[in-house]
Structure 1
Amino acid sequence: MSTTAPVRLPEHLIHPFAPAGRADPHPAYRWLRANDPVHYDAASRLWLVTGHGDCATVLRDPRFSAAQGQRERARDDALPPSMLTTDPPDHHRLRAPGALLLGPAAVRSVAAGLAADVDALVDGLPAAGRVDAVADLGRPLATAVYARLFGLPAEQLRRFEALARAASVNLDPMVPPARAALGRSAAAALTHFLDGHTRTVADTEVPLAALAADDRLSRAEMLGVLSLAVIGGWQPLAEFIGNALHLLLPDRAAVAALGRADEDAARLAVDELLRLEAPIPFTARVTTDRVELDGGVLPAGARVLAVLTAANRDPAVFADPDALHLDRSPNPHLGFGGGPHFCLAAPLVRQTAALLLPRLVRRFPALRGPAGAPDWDQCLVPRRLRALPIELGGAA
């Protein structure tokens, strides 16, 4: 660690990991990015990297190890080997088969079904009244997406969603021990469920069948990749819809513009909404050597968080960085990470959200969000709302 005294946040700013700071960490990150962009945080014993260029380096430079990044978890359990917890070449060996489940070709193979699922979800909403964007939109959408990818029958959807929700606690590196234990049990139950289900789809054409049949992975490795796809994908996709509507609905001009958007414009809008409130706010690495970044120097063995949510509001890269501009282009946000670990599910998230959000605001042009402060959950990962009650205002 540096021999100089660590820089501390000013007293008027709440630490972003503190319970009171988790609802709105952006003021603290803004100050760090401007005043100490490579910051040693004594409370967590982590280095917080907040500038866009430096975060991009953390994600791409091989001196930052994802495998060793497990050491930042304030828990005694390790995630199973997967793309998330390995470095090249093991990472590449696991990632290539994973593309059979989540890559562009897999997404294209289920695109028509996803469009039908989105239409059914919107058609199933009441003509007027109140719904919860998290429980009534985000979660059903994520479950429908995975049902298409996995070939899940209708009678298994409730069980799958319950396991996916329970196991997603493993995303949070600082969850309390009791909840961590429940998360481990849920992850084991999810793996058992997936193990059984993969044996029923061998003769089908769903993307899961292609992954399960790929002989580049052992069965344990295949199940690790599959579990990661659920734990790292179902909850963030579910929560993104609430986060996006929280940002979108107060801006009536943006709502109207999204209602008129074609497919390309809708994807630009999804990227901008992800930039401002991505469900995965940071990613962990450990340095294998001393690294000089633009914002400071990291020693070898440093436990590093690339704070993606801070990088995504860096004024050196994004004009008017805290404002929503649905047509922002280019938009080099890091909401999907970057480098070798760039989110494999990015095409799926972009396509699915770009289907739902325009359809929703076209059907309900008077859609309104709640008044008052948003109800953010206390978990660090994913960044999510506990609920987002929205008034539909009547169907068009």
Structure 2
Amino acid sequence: MTTTPGLPAGIAHPFSPAGRIDPYPAYDWLRAHAPVHRDPMSGMWLVTSHADCVALLKDPAFSAAAGQRERARDDDLPVSMLTTDGADHARLRAPGALLLGPAALASVEDAVAADADAVLDRAARAGTLDDAVEQLGVPLATAVLGRLFGLGEDDWGTLAQLARAVSVNLDPLAPPPVARLGRAAMGELTRFLDAHAEQAPPSPLARLAADPRLTRQEMLGVLGLAVVGGWQPLAESIGNALYWLLPRPDARAALRSADAEGALTAMDELLRLEAPIPFTARVTLREATLPGGTIPAGQRVLAVLAAANRDPAVFTDPAEPVFDRTPNPHLAFGGGPHFCLAARLVRQAGALLLTRLVHRFPDANPGSSTPSWAPTLIPRRITGLSVELGADAGTGRCPVTGAGVGA
């Protein structure tokens, strides 16, 4: 085992209160000096370079299933892609495309575009938004998942409440009392979706529920993971994106003139800068060697995606937005066999709303309040982001949204 130095004085540990607000100085130091680092504070290995994270995410020696078990012992999360590896993971992942794949998203694109317009209609009536996540991100994420699940709008409030409660299940460092609440919420969500699946109208959920490749419990596990891995990242990505986009009039103008591909390119850059899911947990099944070092068997490991996404060996001007950056091999959705199945949903729905917003409100600017980063590890989220929308240019369709979320 290679001994690596600790963080120098003056740099907050990324899991400390100050480091949770701004982890990037610690990530930068670790990536430069100890990219494969045994962290004495957490007892985990922190992997921070892009090359090391890419190798880790592809290597079967790093188990996602064991990583979830180590996150909270006696974990009763449903069986899903999050809690399996290898052949079991692949068997569950294929039917998941019925819920989150291109055809599923295309089937709801017109309705979601109308939902996005309705979100912006409410915003226009307010004029000033007090919290962009709550007033833009949350209703959009709820509408997208509600459409995919075939839920009536009367059930969307329940979905949003449960989705927020289960998001703690993404945090591999959640303390035991919080983890227990997250598992209890997952049980409630599972029962809610189970009852709805019995009588779902034609929808991606109905097609998934009828798929003979899955048992009932496996189907519900896929649904629960779609909420955990889709709702929260989409809701938070809107606020995180606006934090970078709103203060830059040139970037907003470029997004207004972008085609569908250009809008997705911009969304990828915004996700690279502030991924709502900043790391993912693994456990080594055997000794594993990465470009930056060797990790013994039986160790808890975090692939620090947020650090990899700002690696200067891969990204020029890594801490600044380059909205036409291409290629952009960011790891905001992980990589390898466990690449996030909701990636398409988050990218396309986010690009849809942001593009419609800058077309409809070309003078939108940050509001007078000072936003702050929440002191949470997962999700990485901006709070208190207010928005002065300015004049409403109308609801005409912009060039990008013809592609909708099903592009």
TM-score range, shorter chain: over 0.9
Matched, 1:287 2:281: no
Matched, 1:70 2:39: no
State the 1:185 CA deviation: 2.0
Asked whether the equivalents of residues 130 and 384 of structure 2 are also in contact (C-alpha less than 8 Å), the reply is no
Matched, 1:261 2:238: no
Matched, 1:384 2:381: yes
Provide the rounded CA distance (Å) in 2 between the counterparts of 1:305 and 1:78. 21
Give the helix-richer structure, 1 or 2. Answer: 2
Give CA-to-partner distance per residue, 1:195-226, whole Å, 9 cap, x none.
0000111xx33100010001111111111111
Q: 1:7: which partner in 2?
A: 5
| Alignment counterpart, residue 97 of structure 2, candidates 85, 96, 99 | 99
State the 1:80 CA deviation: 2.4
State the 1:129 CA deviation: 2.7
Q: 1:246: which partner in 2?
A: 243
Provide the rounded CA distance (Å) in 1 between the counterparts of 2:216 and 2:268. 35
- Code of the aligned partner of 2:340: C
Change (3 A) 1:382 1:5: same
SS of 2:321 mapped into structure 1: coil
Q: 2:397: which partner in 1?
A: none
SS of 2:15 mapped into structure 1: coil
Asked whether the equivalents of residues 258 and 269 of structure 1 are also in contact (C-alpha less than 8 Å), the reply is yes
Provide the rounded CA distance (Å) in 1 between the counterparts of 2:178 and 2:287. 35
Asked whether the equivalents of residues 56 and 290 of structure 2 are also in contact (C-alpha less than 8 Å), the reply is no
Asked whether the equivalents of residues 68 and 82 of structure 2 are also in contact (C-alpha less than 8 Å), the reply is no
Matched, 1:348 2:345: yes
- Code of the aligned partner of 1:251: R
Provide the rounded CA distance (Å) in 2 between the counterparts of 1:104 and 1:370. 36
Q: 2:396: which partner in 1?
A: none
Give CA-to-partner distance per residue, 1:143-163, whole Å, 9 cap, x none.
000111011101111111111
| Alignment counterpart, residue 272 of structure 2, candidates 271, 275, 282 | 275
Give CA-to-partner distance per residue, 1:280-327, whole Å, 9 cap, x none.
101111122222222111112221111000001111111111110110
- Code of the aligned partner of 1:191: T
Provide the rounded CA distance (Å) in 2 between the counterparts of 1:75 and 1:61. 24
Matched, 1:165 2:164: yes
| Alignment counterpart, residue 106 of structure 2, candidates 89, 108, 112 | 108
Asked whether the equivalents of residues 279 and 304 of structure 2 are also in contact (C-alpha less than 8 Å), the reply is yes
Asked whether the equivalents of residues 64 and 285 of structure 1 are also in contact (C-alpha less than 8 Å), the reply is yes
Q: 2:182: which partner in 1?
A: 183
Q: 1:309: which partner in 2?
A: 306
Provide the rounded CA distance (Å) in 2 between the counterparts of 1:309 and 1:291. 22
Over the matched positions of the two proteins, sequence identity in percent amounts to: 62
Q: 1:90: which partner in 2?
A: 88
Provide the rounded CA distance (Å) in 2 between the counterparts of 1:388 and 1:380. 19
| Alignment counterpart, residue 31 of structure 2, candidates 30, 33, 36 | 33
Q: 1:174: which partner in 2?
A: 173
| Alignment counterpart, residue 222 of structure 2, candidates 216, 220, 225 | 225
State the 1:393 CA deviation: 2.1
Provide the rounded CA distance (Å) in 1 between the counterparts of 2:120 and 2:239. 15
Give the gaps of 5 or more residues in structure 2.
394-407
State the 1:123 CA deviation: 2.3
Provide the rounded CA distance (Å) in 2 between the counterparts of 1:370 and 1:72. 42
SS of 1:313 mapped into structure 2: coil
Provide the rounded CA distance (Å) in 2 between the counterparts of 1:237 and 1:161. 12
Give CA-to-partner distance per residue, 1:179-202, whole Å, 9 cap, x none.
33322221111111000000111x
State the 1:71 CA deviation: 4.4
Provide the rounded CA distance (Å) in 2 between the counterparts of 1:24 and 1:67. 29
Asked whether the equivalents of residues 288 and 301 of structure 1 are also in contact (C-alpha less than 8 Å), the reply is yes
Q: 2:21: which partner in 1?
A: 23
Give CA-to-partner distance per residue, 1:22-48, whole Å, 9 cap, x none.
011011000100010001101111111
Give the gaps of 5 or more residues in structure 1.
none
Asked whether the equivalents of residues 40 and 48 of structure 1 are also in contact (C-alpha less than 8 Å), the reply is yes
Provide the rounded CA distance (Å) in 1 between the counterparts of 2:347 and 2:104. 14
Task: Give the aligned CA root-mean-square deviation in angstroms.
Answer: 1.6
Q: 1:195: which partner in 2?
A: 194
Moved more, 108-117 or 80-89: 108-117
TM, length-normalised to structure 2:
0.93
Asked whether the equivalents of residues 287 and 299 of structure 1 are also in contact (C-alpha less than 8 Å), the reply is yes
- Code of the aligned partner of 1:51: S
Asked whether the equivalents of residues 131 and 391 of structure 1 are also in contact (C-alpha less than 8 Å), the reply is no
SS of 1:182 mapped into structure 2: helix
Asked whether the equivalents of residues 11 and 25 of structure 2 are also in contact (C-alpha less than 8 Å), the reply is yes
Provide the rounded CA distance (Å) in 2 between the counterparts of 1:160 and 1:151. 12
Asked whether the equivalents of residues 190 and 220 of structure 2 are also in contact (C-alpha less than 8 Å), the reply is yes
Asked whether the equivalents of residues 272 and 331 of structure 2 are also in contact (C-alpha less than 8 Å), the reply is yes
Provide the rounded CA distance (Å) in 2 between the counterparts of 1:52 and 1:6. 19
Asked whether the equivalents of residues 272 and 326 of structure 1 are also in contact (C-alpha less than 8 Å), the reply is yes
- Code of the aligned partner of 1:355: L
Change (3 A) 1:385 1:90: same
